[in-house]
Amino acid sequence: MPQPFALNLYQEGDFVPQYTFDWCVAASIQMAHNLIDDTGGGTWSASAHQGELWEMARARSSNSYNGANPRGWAQVLTEVGMGPYSVVSVPGYQDALRTAARAISETGRPVGLVMWSGRHAWVMSGFEAVGDPAVFPEFTVTGVRVLDPLYPHGSERWGPSPVPNSLLTPEQLATQFVIREPRRWSTDLPAGYLLVLPTQG
| 63 confidence band (pLDDT: 50, 70, 90) | low
**In the CATH hierarchy, which fold is given to the domain comprising 4-198?**
Cathepsin B; Chain A (3.90.70)
Tell me phi and psi for residue 107, to 5 degrees. Answer: -105, -20
pLDDT at 65: 57
Predicted local confidence at residue 69, as pLDDT = 86
Average pLDDT value for residue range 48-64 = 87
pLDDT exceeds 90 at position 118: no
Mean pLDDT, rounded, for 46-74: 86
Q: What is the model's pTM?
A: 0.94
Give residue-wise pLDDT tens across range 26-41. 999 999 999 998 766 6
Domain boundaries, the chain: 4-198
Identify the CA nearest to 148 among candidates 24, 46, 9.
24
Q: What is the mean pLDDT of residues 155-171?
A: 97
Task: Round to whole Å and give the CA distance between 121 and 116.
Answer: 8
Q: Taking 60 as the threshold, does the pLDDT of residue 64 lie above it?
A: no
